[in-house]
Amino acid sequence: MYKQTSFLLSVLLLGSFAATIPSVAQAQVTVAQARSAELKQLLEDGRRLVNSGDYNGAISVYQQAVAIEPKNAKIHSGMGYLYAIQGNFQAALAAYRRALGIDPNNGDFFYAVGYIKGNLGDTAGAKDAYRKAIQLNRNNINAYLGLGVTQSRLGDYEAAMWAYDQAINIDKNYAQTYELMGSMFKQRRKAKEASNVLNKARDLYQRRNDSDGVARVEALLRDLGG
């Protein structure tokens, strides 16, 4: 997932951390789901346009596809994803709500709603969506990180630490967890704690040759004087 989403970083900030939106696969609606030759061709065209970076073109194609099969939640979520990476969060939220109306127990859709609401400034709504995503998938590490960010924004640092601890239990080598924890400690002016976890994050980013992650963490450490 690291490499797959590295070019799709967007802005859900705590300090200087940018959280990722759901995987690019959500925009590439599975062609195997197609029930007609016309729909199959549209989904193939959509996938090609996504891969080439023509998101407006892909949205247009998916709009044609959803007219053929309006109850296909994946097509709605694909459009939502593409709207989100373009920064059109109101349209993205509407698309994911349509997807949830069809598939109300999809944790990935709730995770996306949490991300979108966070970008719209609805922190409480984002928190609730991340919680729902976690209820549906206890191993969704990014949902825990999103919950940690929103709880920090709301000033509930104990709940934020619980979320980060759960993320560590899932993957103790997930660098973003330590980066977010460091940002939270920095926000609270706990320099020693921030330095410890930020150094951990930097080491993990270096191991996977993630220069952007290293640069973000080093900027935070410079602010701390470390």
Kindly report, residue by residue over 47-65, the tens digit of the pLDDT. Answer: 899 889 999 999 999 999 9
CATH class (in words) of the domain with range 105-156? mainly alpha
User: At 175, is the pLDDT very low, low, confident or very high (cuts 50, 70, 90)?
Assistant: very high
Amino acid 38: pLDDT: 86
pLDDT in tens, 195-204: 999 999 999 9
Q: Any idea where the domains of the chain sit in the sequence? A: 31-104, 105-156, 172-225
H-only helix segments in the chain: 2-5, 37-52, 55-68, 73-85, 89-102, 107-119, 123-136, 141-153, 157-170, 175-187, 191-207, 211-224
Amino acid 6: pLDDT: 28
CATH class (in words) of the domain with range 31-104? mainly alpha
User: At 29, is the pLDDT very low, low, confident or very high (cuts 50, 70, 90)?
Assistant: low
Q: Residue 164 pLDDT > 50, yes or no?
A: yes
Q: Residue 140 pLDDT > 60, yes or no?
A: yes
Q: Is 107 exposed, middle or buried (0-12, 13-18, 19+ CB in 10 A)?
A: middle
* CA gap 150, 122 in Å, rounded: 9
* CA gap 100, 108 in Å, rounded: 10
Amino acid 37: pLDDT: 84
Domain 105-156 in the same topology as domain 31-104? yes
